[in-house]
Amino acid sequence: MSAKRTAATAARILTQLRHDRRTVAIMVLIPCLLLGLIAWMFADSPYPVLDTFGPLLLGVFPAIVMFLVTSVATLRERTSGTLERLMTTPISKADFLLGYAIAFAAAAAVQAVVLTAFAIWVCGMEVAGSAWLMMGVAVADAVLGSSLGLAASALARTEFQAVQMMPAVMLPQLAVCGLVMPREQMPQVLEWFSRIVPFSYATDAMQDISTAAPVVEVWMNIGIIAGFVALSLTAGVITLRRRTA
């Protein structure tokens, strides 16, 4: 693996993103629109809906959007033959995938910071803990979504299949991560399953910040998220094919 080739790949992807305004708009504006609609819907509610569920949504919205964008973009490199041509050069699969991960991590950081700032300073979501730490966790969650998208794209043969990967990979996690109901109240098998999916730790970190829990608990969850990111990227490198037949 070469740092120079990895950086060149990341720079190429960032240049493509910079010229693809629709994709940038989807990544940055759509999560803000969804969160804004929820805040508007419950603006007159006596129950602090946004303060309760807003941090949880900040944990999953960036990951879902980045999963979709990353998986489709990576698969397009294979279906267009770009990856196959790149593989005739000294670049390795690890260079390619890590370059993609770095590029989309940068995009994810912008998305997560904008969304968190919008939730707190525009929608008025109140956070007992550090708003800056919440931004950091949102960035980590968005990077998690990108890494899962990179891994899932290796299993898809078409862009349609890549889109179908989202409900297969993301919806089960949404169901058991604590967004629908507290994990402690789930049937025991589902609670066990929730312990091995990364979204559980993404929402736990956000809840810890929103309730001003000890910072060490937040960092423990961030560490687990980082482990899932590394695991997903490793799986992506192992399963990535040069082309899609």
Domain-by-domain residue ranges, the chain? 3-239
Give the pLDDT confidence score for residue 154 in this predicted structure.
74
Does residue 180 sit in helix, strand or coil?
coil
Q: pTM higher than 0.95, yes or no? A: no
Residues lower than pLDDT 50 in the chain: none
Per-residue pLDDT at 219: 93
Q: What is the pLDDT of residue 83?
A: 67
Measured N-to-C along each axis, helices 198-210 and 131-153 cross at an angle, to the nearest 10 degrees, of 170
Closest among 64, 196, 68, 193 to 138, alpha carbons compared: 64
Q: Phi, psi (5° rounding) for residue 186?
A: -80, 160
pLDDT computed for residue 221 by the predictor:
93
CA distances from 237 to 2, 118, 122, 193 (A): 15, 35, 40, 25
Q: What is the pLDDT of residue 1?
A: 65
Res 204: pLDDT: 92
